[in-house]
Structure formats: structure tokens, C-alpha cells
Amino acid sequence: MERLEGSRNIILKGLITLLIVITALAGCSKAQDEKPAAEPTNQGDVSNTETNTENKESEQPSTVETRIVTDQFGDVEIPVKPKRIAAIYLEDYLVALGVEPVVQWYHPTWGKQDYLNLSVPQFDITGDIEALLASEPDLIISDGYADAAKYEKYSKVAPTYRLTDDIQNGSTTEILSKIADIIGMPEKAEELLKDYDQKIADMKTKLQAKIGNETVAVLRLNVGERDINLLGIKNRFVGSILYKELGLTPPKLVADMDKFIDTISMEKLPELGADHIIILTSNGAWSSPENEEAVSGLMDSPIWKSIPAVKNGHVYQVDRTYWQTGAFSANLLKLKDLEKYLLK
């Protein structure tokens, strides 16, 4: 009986021990299952990796939004919002729109448009395109100066838009509107044109009241050729604004002209019969030795002195840099000259 009791105790102790072992093993297994996944030993590695990735992404060039427009030579893809614009022969319009061009055209003989007061690199249009290239434009706009060969050359520097012939030969306001559209500033152009139209209307009324049908002619003194040009009613520099927009009366010689510009001999000057003469030089300032000499020779001539406008002191020397262009800002300066000389 005692043996049987002892055997039971041994079996019971064995079962208890086995139960303890099983419980312990189950606990270890559960702890192992609940252990979190292994983490990097260096948290800084993760942070550095993310930072480097962000830096690489920020270094990638942003996508420039573009659009397709049609110019004189076909379709061209240009930036929707250009930031660095070169406008060859057309800087005046950019300045009017409040945009500074990255470069300004320059000609060794003609000089540049000083009235714009630009402080940007100059691009010699008779030389290579290094200055244009160095200016890194994202858009180039050109007038009729750019033929197919020049257009191709400029297009290698940046997307190039060449005004179509119909716009090029159109009015100042049409050119301004087109350029404003190309650079994404149509609203600014509308504002400028509204103001321009009002200035023209006001000046037209004042001129009619002051000089009525008195005739006005524009002459250009060519120092190099030693001759004089007569600018016609079809001349975009002066004919459009004086005779078409402001309604001034041209002398018969001017009214009969088919040409943009023509040479008039000294002997024929008395036939001009103009009541008012606006005169400019072809090159340089009035104060240059060459121009002073040419003017002196002209004004000492008996033929010159016989002209009605000369007799009455109605000859006005103006700045060639804005009288030899039909651009927007230049026209506003012409209005100031007309107010100064014809409304005095």
C-alpha cells in the first residue's frame, strides 16, 4: 500500500514538472512571436538617406510650361512665362511692358536706342552672337531683321519668335499687342493701349486747335552721304503717327510719295513749302563735330534760308534715336516733342 502511494507521488511530481516545462516553452514561443522586427542599428542612416533623396529631387530642373505659337517661319515652342527675354530691335516694347531685356542690340554705325536707358550687355548685330549666347535668354523675339539664316542661328541659342510680316508691317499698337501676347502679358498691353489712345486723341485735338492745316515735314540729314532724306506718309517711323494717327497735314511732296523714304536735293527743298520742319540726323548726336559741320553748311545755304519754315523759325532739331523708330515708347517721346515745339 505504501509502495502504491509512493508511486502515485512520483507520477504526480513528474506531471507537475512536465507541465512547468511546457508552460515555459509556450511563454518563450509567444515572446519570440511578439518581438518587434529588427530596426537599423543607426537611426542617423535613415535620416541621411531621406535628406539625400530630397536634395536630389530639389536639384532636378523644374518642368518649364511651354506652348506652340506660329511665327513667320512656322510653329515654335516657347515658354508660357519667359524669364529672360532678348528682343532684337524690339527692346522698346519690352520696356513699355515693364520688362527689362537681358541684352540690347547695338550697331557700330547707328549706335543703340539710348532713350531706353538700359544698363544691360550690348549685342553687336553685325558681329557674332557671343553676347547673345552669354546672356542666356529663354526666349528671343526679333523683327524683320532676322532672315531665315539669322533665325536658325538664334534658334540654337533659345526658342526664337520672329514677328510675322503682317504684324511687322502693321501699326505700333499691333506690334505691342503681339509681343505682349507672346510673353504672357496681354492685360498690360490693353492698359497701355488705352492710355496711348487717349494721349493721341488729346494731342490731335490740341494740334488742330493750334496749327490747323499748316503743313509738317520730316527731314533726315545724312552726314556720310552729304544729302537729305524726306520721310513719307508711309514711313513707319514718323508717317504713321504724324499723318495717320494725329492727322497732321503733309506738304504736297510728302503726300505724293510712294516710298518709305526718298532723297531730296537742295535745289528742290524750296518746293517742299512746309510750314514746319522736324529734322534729325542719320547718325550720332547733334553735338558731334560731323553733325555740327553738316548743319552749319545746310543752314548757311541761301536755298535753305528761303524755305517758309526756316524763315519763321519753325525748324525743330529732334533726337534721332526715337524719331528713327516707330516703337511704342519712342512714339510717346515724339508726342512730348510735338507738344514742346508745335504747341508752344
pTM score, two decimals? 0.80
8 pLDDT more than 50: no
| Mean pLDDT comparison of 44-53, 185-194, 261-270, 295-304, highest-scoring range | 185-194
User: Contact at 8 Å (CB) between 317 and 280?
Assistant: yes
φ, ψ of residue 280 in degrees (nearest 5): -135, 165
Per-residue model confidence (pLDDT) at position 145: 85
Structural Rg of the chain based on CA atoms: 40
Q: How far apart are CA 243 and CA 339, in angstroms?
A: 16
Other Cβ atoms within 10 Å of 240 Cβ, number:
18
The pLDDT tens digits of the residues spanning 88-143 come to 999 999 999 999 999 999 988 888 999 999 999 999 989 888 889 999 999 999 99
The pLDDT mean for the chain works out to 85
How far apart CA 186 and CA 177 sit, in angstroms, is 7
Band the pLDDT of 1: cuts 50, 70, 90: very low
Locate 306 and state its grid cell. Answer: 528761303
200-342 and 66-184 share a CATH fold: yes
Domain extents in the chain: 66-184, 200-342
Residue 24 has pLDDT above 60, yes or no: no
pLDDT at 211 over 90: yes
pLDDT band at 62 (very low <50, low <70, confident <90, very high): low
Q: What is the pLDDT of residue 45?
A: 40
Using the 8-state DSSP alphabet, how is residue 241 labeled?
A: I
For residue 23, pLDDT over 90 is answered with no
Please give the Cα distance from 225 to 232 (Å, whole number).
19
Please name the CATH architecture into which domain 66-184 falls: 3-Layer(aba) Sandwich (3.40)
DSSP SS3 for 1: coil
The whole-angstrom separation of Cα 109 and Cα 103 is 18
- Model pLDDT, residue 315: 96
Residue 53 has pLDDT above 70, yes or no: no
- Could you give the CA distance from residue 203 to residue 208 in angstroms, rounded to a whole number? 8
Q: What is the CATH number of domain 200-342?
A: 3.40.50.1980
